[in-house]
Every structure is written in C-alpha cells, then in structure tokens.
Structure 1
Amino acid sequence: MNKIFAVANQKGGVGKTTTCVNLAASLVASRQRVLLIDLDPQGNATMGSGIDKSELQLSVYDVLTSEMDPRKAIVATESGYDVLPANGDLSAAEVELLDMDARETRLRGAIDRIGDDYDYVVVDCPPSLNMLTVNALCAANGVLIPMQCEYYALEGLSALINTINQIQQVANPDLKIEGILRTMYDPRNSLTNDVSEQLTEYFGDRLYSTCIPRNVRLAEAPSFGKPALTYDRQSKGAIAYLALAGEMTRRHAANSRPAVAEAS
C-alpha cells in the first residue's frame, strides 16, 4: 500500500512547501518512487521543483474538475520525483468543486488511478481550510504537520487537529497524524525549547526526532527551482531532510513488519 501524506498547516510560513519539495527529493534518494501533488494555487511547490507554472498546458486543476487521467498532467523533475503541478487556475477549482458530485473525494479518485505507480504521494496543501485541503485530507492516510516552535503555532496546531478529527468522523476514518515536524528550529532559543518540550509531552513518538534548522541554502534553493539536496547536498537543510526521509521509511518498515508469534 502506498503512503499518501497531506502536508498541512492552517498557519502560513511554517515551511510547508519547503518540506514537500525537499522530502520528495530525499525519499527519491532513499530509492522510493515519489509523486508530489501541488494543491496550492500559488504553485510554489511547482516552481520550487523547476517547473514553470506559467507554461503549463495541463495541471491538477484539470484533474480535479474534469476527472482527467492524472498521468497526462504529471511532469517529471530532474531530482527524480514526479509532480502534478498547479498554477493560478486552481483558485477557480475551489469554487467550481462546490457544485460538483463527490467534491470532497476528487483527489482520492485521481490517486486511486495511479497509486500503484508510486511508493509515496506527498500533497502540498494551501494554508487554509477550503475544499482543496478537504480533498487532500480525504485522500491521505496520514497528515504531516510542519510547525515552528512558537506560541502562535500551538494555537494553529489545535485548530488543525480539530479539522483532522472532523474529517476522520465524516469522510476518512483511516486518516491519522503521521507526524509533527519542527521547522526553522533554533535550539538556542528558550521559547523553541519550551514549545518543543510541550510537543514531546503531548505527541510522544508522533513528534519526529528530526528537526529542520534555519538554513540559508534551504531558503535559496527554491529560487533556483531545486530542492536543497540538488542545490547543495552538503547543506544542513539537505542533510536534515535526508534524515527525515530515513526516519519515515524506518517507521513504515517497522509498522508493516508482521508480528512474530510468541513461542508456546
């Protein structure tokens, strides 16, 4: 079974798109087949993967609104992962989906058609709760939540968890929190450490041990249309996302391992 992650946080500026692009590249480096779905009308994950959103003939908009075969819109990247790209057209889909049948499960239907082609599907959600985010949460089997260790981030996290619980009850009972990822992490900051301790206490092993540091190379890479791993493999940001990919794949390998019966 492939892993479908919605990378979501209703608070903007937490490194959500950075996480999607760099996690996709790092999972490929771990020999996984990866599809990145850009579900944000800003198209930042598309551009950050080296795809010019202004030249797209087909995009995730067409897949959602006309139920087109996703393979027609998927673009391969130099970093080894595929992208179902987005541009400003996707803003119209937020409104158009409201009048469509199965509006919450359009993305799920698209992924079902191509799921066997990939080991991991990573969905970059917009920084708001709208029909696009609902589609991502209905399609996913896990939510990866990037967040900064600051006070207001905790408030946003609470709202997102409530949303996840509602989706579980109404549309996707298999949905769970895959993990909490601390981004822009600076251990010299006392507030960072305080919030980190609260996250550890509340989420336990759902909090990734990997932390993503503030890193200049990580911030520069999108302007070159590359993940940090392609832009500067030795940068602290690239190394951190490689560590995250390793932590994720080890978790999944452990969870999928059959239980050993005790000797009688």
Structure 2
Amino acid sequence: MGTVIAVSANKGGSLKTSISTNLAGVISKNGKKVCLIDLDNQGNVAITFGKNPDDLEYTIYDVLVSDVDPFAAIINVSDNLDIIAANDDMAYLEIDVLTKVKKYPKPLNLLSKSIEQLKEKYDYIIIDTPPQMGMIAANVFNCAEDIIIPYHPEVYSFRSMVKSMKAIKQFQKDNNKLKIKAVVPVKVKKTLTHEAFLDSGKALCEQNDVYFSNTIISESIKYTEAVGRYRKPITLATESSKVIDQYSEIYNTLTKELNYIG
C-alpha cells in the first residue's frame, strides 16, 4: 500500500508546490510509482507540467463532489508519475459541499475513499494543499500519513507553523498514522532575521518532538525558471548544467533525508 505524503502550510508563498512536484520528480526517477494530487484552486501542479487545468475533463473537484473514479482524472506527465489536477472549481468546494448536508454527510472524509483506491496502485501519493486550514485541510489530515511543513523563517510563517502543529495534533486522535515527517526551511536568506527564526523554528520542533530538516532550500528563482523553460519541475529537467544539477541535488538530498529513496 502506498504512503500518503502531504505538503502543508497555513501560509501562501511557502514553496508547497515546488516541494510537492520536485519530491514527486525525484521519487519517480528512482523507480517508484507516484500520484501527485493538487487540492489548490490555483492549479499550479498542472501548470508546472505544461497543462491548462481549465481544459481538463476531470479534476480532483469532480472526484470529490461527483464521485468520479479517481483513475478517470489521472494524467500521466512523466515515467512513473501521474497527476490529478485542480482548478478554480476547488474555490467553491466548501460552499458546494456544506450546503448539501444530505448528499455529503461526512464532508471531512471526501478524500479518504479515493486515497485508499490510489494506494493500491502507487508507491507514493503526494498531496499539494492550499494555504489555509479548513475543510480541505481536514480531508488531508484524515487520510495522510506524513506531513511536510515548509517553513519560511519569518514571523508569519512561524505563527503558521505553530497553528499547523496544533491542528495536526488534533487530527492524530482520529488518524493514528498521521505524523509530521519534517519541517523544511525554505526561501532562506543569509540575514540575521532568518538566522534568528531558524533557531526559533528548531527550538519549537524540538519541544514538539518534530524533525527539523537539515536540508535548506534557499531563496531562488531557478525553480520557477525551470517550470517556464521545461514545463517540468527542476528535478525532471531534461538538460544538465551546473545550475540545474545544483538545485536538483538539493531535492535529491531532501528526499533521501526523509527516507523516501535509498
């Protein structure tokens, strides 16, 4: 049965999609079957792979609200790597579900059934989440096993990490497989502010028995450039150069550190 990983943070601009897509790239290149699911209405997972999320017949929204078979929504984007995309429809998910209580008696478990089906086919299911705590996050926490929290070492992200940890602890009461796999520092600069908040983040993780990653993802536009140039995350770039290899190696190191590849 596949392992379910979710990249989650209660804050936008924290590289959730970059981490999700690049982890998926590394794991799939190492011979494991991966399904990458987007739950964010911005649809950036599909865009990363050169797909227009508004042109697709089925998205994760259809799977969740219309009982569409999740395998009908799958798009193959690379060897061993499939995606289930999201688009603007996800912005209306809570309204569409919570106003129809009889049709959706368990709104916090819409995702679980599909995840169980996918786990039979894939080694890893990676979920890219939207930047808020709500019904979608609850669905993720009810079926995920490993949560990766990106941490931008500044005050807003620190507060977000505190709230995320509290929320995950609440959901662990019903989902005993749920755990925070790691907090990963992202968009890090060599400034006194970032150094101070890195120390604060490490201390918070130590207090809560949470692993703080040794892999630091620095502030860079190279990940975005790779998407624009190759229509793929940098770990799946077909060219090799000093810059591409350098940034790909960061995600290779992170994936090994988290024990998703040997």
What is the TM-score with the length of structure 2 in the denominator? 0.88
The residue number in structure 2 matching 1:146 is 150
The residue number in structure 2 matching 1:5 is 5
The residue number in structure 1 matching 2:17 is 17
More divergent stretch after superposition (174-183 vs 188-197)? 188-197
Is 1:201 the counterpart of 2:206 in the alignment? no
Q: 2-side partners of 1:239 and 1:215: how far apart?
A: 14
- 3-state SS, counterpart of residue 222 of structure 1: helix
1:237 to 238, 247, 250: 247
Deviation (angstroms), 1:141: 0.9
1:220 to 216, 225, 240: 225
Do the aligned residues in 2 keep the contact of 1:146 with 1:181 (CA within 8 Å)?
yes
Q: C-alpha offsets along residues 213-245 of structure 1, whole Å, 9 cap, x if unaligned? A: 222321212334210123365423322111111
Identify if the C-alpha distance between structure 1 residues 79 and 48 changes in structure 2 by more than 3 Å, giving closer, same or farther: farther
Q: 2-side partners of 1:195 and 1:51: how far apart?
A: 37
Is 1:211 the counterpart of 2:216 in the alignment? yes
1:183 to 177, 180, 186: 186
Is 1:116 the counterpart of 2:120 in the alignment? yes
Amino acid at match of 1:17: T
Summarize the alignment of residues 8-157 of structure 1 with structure 2, pairs less than 5 Å apart.
Answer: 8-78=8-78, 80-98=80-98, 99=101, 100-157=104-161
Deviation (angstroms), 1:80: 4.1
Q: 1-side partners of 2:201 and 2:7: how far apart?
A: 18
Do the aligned residues in 1 keep the contact of 2:118 with 2:125 (CA within 8 Å)?
no
Is 1:247 the counterpart of 2:257 in the alignment? yes
More divergent stretch after superposition (240-249 vs 192-201)? 192-201
Is 1:158 the counterpart of 2:162 in the alignment? yes
Deviation (angstroms), 1:23: 1.1
Deviation (angstroms), 1:86: 0.8
Unmatched tracts of structure 2, length 5 or more: none
Count matched residues.
250
| Structure with higher helix content | 1
Do the aligned residues in 2 keep the contact of 1:213 with 1:237 (CA within 8 Å)?
no
The residue number in structure 2 matching 1:257 is none
- 3-state SS, counterpart of residue 253 of structure 2: helix
Q: 1-side partners of 2:259 and 2:84: how far apart?
A: 23
- 3-state SS, counterpart of residue 57 of structure 1: coil
- RMSD of aligned C-alpha atoms? 1.9
Q: 1-side partners of 2:32 and 2:201: how far apart?
A: 29
Do the aligned residues in 2 keep the contact of 1:25 with 1:80 (CA within 8 Å)?
no
Q: C-alpha offsets along residues 16-35 of structure 1, whole Å, 9 cap, x if unaligned? A: 11111111101112222111
What is the TM-score with the length of structure 1 in the denominator? 0.88
Amino acid at match of 1:162: K
Do the aligned residues in 2 keep the contact of 1:182 with 1:212 (CA within 8 Å)?
yes
- 3-state SS, counterpart of residue 77 of structure 1: strand
Q: 2-side partners of 1:79 and 1:50: how far apart?
A: 15
